[in-house]
Structure formats: C-alpha cells, structure tokens
Amino acid sequence: MMRTRPLKVALLGCGVVGSEVARIMTTHADDLAARIGAPVELAGVAVRRPSKVREGIDPALVTTDATALVKRGDIDVVVEVIGGIEPARTLITTAFEHGASVVSANKALLAQDGAALHAVAEEHDKDLYYEAAVAGAIPLIRPLRESLAGDKVNRVLGIVNGTTNFILDKMDSTGAGYQEALDEATALGYAEADPTADVEGFDAAAKAAILAGIAFHTRVRLDDVYREGMTEVTAADFASAKEMGCTIKLLAICERAEDGASVTARVHPAMIPLSHPLASVRGAYNAVFVESDASGQLMFYGPGAGGSPTASAVLGDLVAVCRNRLSGATGPGESAYAALPVSPMGDVVTRYHISLDVADKPGVLAQVATVFAEHGVSIDTVRQQGKDGEASLVVVTHRASDAALGGTVEALRKLDTVRGVASIMRVEGE
C-alpha cells in the first residue's frame, strides 16, 4: 500500500544538474512514487540568484537561505548539487543534525572529507549516497559497495573525465596538437573556460580517491592520490604510441599491492594497448574497468557528465534513500575496516616508454643501457633513429618502480651523449 504523506526533498543548487533533478521529479512524479512507495515533494530549492527564471519550479519554493531550508526539520532528504567544499560541507552536516538523509554529487568534498561526513551520518542514523559524484550516469559506486561486497576488488582502472578523453581522442584520431584539441572541446562545451580541474587531473583524482576507498575498504583522501595532468602530451607521443599498437588515455588507477598489504591511487596519462577495452572509449564518454577475485573483469561504460546523466544518478540515489526512509533503515555507510596504508608513487611498479634525444654516434646505446642496468630497470625494446649527428632513442622497459625509473632518468640526464629527455610515459593495461 502506498503511503499518502509525501516525502519532502530539499534541493541545494539549481544549475545544470539541479534543474534536471527538479524536472525529472516533476515529470516522473507518478513513476517515482510507485517505485518508492510514497510520493516525493520538492519542498524547497536553495539558489544564489533568486531572480532567475527557473522553468517548471514554483518561485515560492526558491530561497537564498540554504541553512534555514536544511534546518526545517520536516525535510526527509537533502539533495546537494552546489559543489565545492563550503558551504556544502556545513549544509550537509546540518541536514544530518536536523533529521534529513543526503544525496550528493560533490566529488571534491567527498574525496576530502568523506570519512567525517559518513561519521556524522552514522551518528544521526541517516544515509549519505553519492553515485553521481563519479562517472555521471554510470552505475559504479553502488556495484562496488553492494554488488561486489562479497568479492575482493584488486584493481580499478578507468577513464573518469569526459573532457580529457575528448581532447586525447581528437589528438589520436586527427593528429591535432593539445591546444587545438582543447579549443575544439571548449567550442563544443565539453571544456570549461578554465579547464584546469580537468586537464591537470584534479577532477579525476577526486574520483580516484572515492573509488579506491570503496573498492579497498580503506580511507583514501585526495591528498593520497598521485596526480599528473595531460597538458604535456604531444602529437609525437601519439605517434610513438601507434608504433607500439597503443593509444593514450588519462587514467585513474586504484590497485591493491600484490601482497595485499597496501593500496595505491593515481591519475596520469598512460599508453594502453589498442586491444584493451578502454582504448575504444571515444569522445567525452567514461569507462571504468574493475578486476576482482571472483567476478574477474567487469567494465562500466557510458556518459560521464552532463545535466541529464548526472541527474539520473542523483534520482537513483533519491529513490534508494526514500525507500530506506520508509522502512526505517539505512543503506551501506562507510566501510574502512581494512585500513590499508596508501603507498607513495615511488613504490608503484609499471612499464615505461622513454624518448631520449641523443648524439648519433657509436656507443650511445651501450651507455644508455648501462645506466638502466645500474638502476635495476630491465629494457624490453629499443628503437633508434638518427641523422646529421642527432638521434631519437625510444626505450620501453619491463616493469619497474617509479622510484627506480626516476633514478635512471636523473642519471641519463648527466650523460654527455644525452641531449634531453623528450618524454616519459607509463604503459598500462597489460
């Protein structure tokens, strides 16, 4: 039997995502009520500019006093889509203290203060759901913390930022340089006027922190994630990748050490074989590859951003939280029982592609190979091309630690025959 008294929802933020949440709540009201077991009512919308016309939203619901809205006491669920650290953190905490559960899309806040927010939610016996914080409409967080709760996840490897994937895909498919591809992404609306958060990997790093924490039952904060942007990737790097049968993607990589005693989380450009499923992810799409003991390899794919896809994830959480509200229960909270240490980037082991500018004369290859050997880095393949006294030397290593590779490169720079290190890129997905 359906309950007649509606569950009241407060919406914090009414931009691209918030306006879509409000629209879907209105146009799909009957379906949502049938799925939840009670109607849901938009009880208030907190915004910064109340004079702006918002189609489909009763102006009487609009307020600039978000604090008063979440303190009302009759609000069942607060949907937070304003982003940033403050005032979002204080508003979410206040919502819990005044009896509301929370659905959030705030990746930056969750990556920085997720543990503290979960603690407040648990203290007040309320839900904190945030499927929309990572990879837009792609169901990812719920499968990790619910569907795979009985499994052991070993690795999460993914493309979690649509802007960077669009840019790199353009560079790969058209031969465009970085700036040219960025300009196109901006013109099409895929990149912000200031794309720093995307192209320097901050957005992906926040998502990696969230994914690693859930996958490995360990608290992983944004500061624990190694981050390297993609602004230095060149057309020459793509040419080298193609010669290896690879392409280049900005990847978020979260993995458990082979001995199971620690975890790592990192974001950086990497070459991946064309045979890997992530290599075929084009345009502004996202995809995440999960490897676990029992399930093996799973891939989640779809639109990773935008108003409608993100709102879809928000509404999915809203339905789940409302159902919990009706049954008097709460869903999964933070799971950090494993408390594994997060290893520094220097301990990460992977393959490397190194391009060197060297003198084109006898003995250079021997000198370079000696340096690699002295630092314990094994060489897989070497390719040398040169003329008129100058040459390009491309070395692909076997697996080595980041620290060992760093020492190798430092020593190479000291050789008289090495003019410079043109590029260094990790090789993943094998």
> What residue has token string 């199971």?
260
Active site (catalytic) residues: 207
Q: How many domains does the chain have?
A: 3
Q: Is 333 among the domain residues?
A: no
Q: Under a CB-based contact definition with an 8 Å cutoff, are residues 47 and 14 in contact?
A: yes
Which residue positions form the known binding site for L-homoserine? 192
Same domain, 281 and 322: no
Residues 6+ away with beta carbon under 8 Å from 35:
319
Nearest to 45 by CA among 60, 27, 26: 60
Q: Is 26 among the domain residues?
A: yes
Encoded tokens for 315: 């509404």
Tens of pLDDT, residue by residue over 236-257, are: 999 999 999 999 999 999 999 9
Which residue positions form the known binding site for NADP(+)? 12-19
Q: Indicate if the alpha-carbon torsion angle 24, 29, 30, 35 is positive or negative.
A: positive
Q: Is 358 among the domain residues?
A: yes
**In 244-357, alpha helices (H):** 307-327
pLDDT exceeds 90 at position 388: no
Cα 46–207–91 angle (5° rounding)? Answer: 25
Tens of pLDDT, residue by residue over 328-368, are: 999 999 999 999 999 999 999 999 999 999 998 888 999 99
Which residue positions form the known binding site for NADPH? 107
Q: What is the pLDDT of residue 304?
A: 79
Tens of pLDDT, residue by residue over 158-208, are: 999 999 999 999 999 999 999 999 999 999 888 889 999 999 999 999 999
- Calpha distance 205→132 (Å, rounded): 16
Same domain, 203 and 166: yes
> What residue has token string 């080298």?
240
Tens of pLDDT, residue by residue over 102-131, are: 999 999 999 999 999 999 999 999 999 999
Q: What is the pLDDT of residue 358?
A: 93
Q: Is 278 among the domain residues?
A: yes
Same domain, 70 and 128: yes
Q: Which domain holds residue 111?
A: 7-136+307-327
Among the ranges given (1-5, 209-213, 222-226, 332-336), the one the predictor scored with the smallest mean pLDDT: 1-5
Q: What is the pLDDT of residue 250?
A: 98
Q: Which long-range contacts (CB under 8 A, 24 or more apart) does 378-386 make?
A: 380/351, 383/243, 384/358, 386/358, 386/360
pLDDT exceeds 80 at position 260: yes
Tens of pLDDT, residue by residue over 263-284, are: 999 999 999 999 999 999 999 9
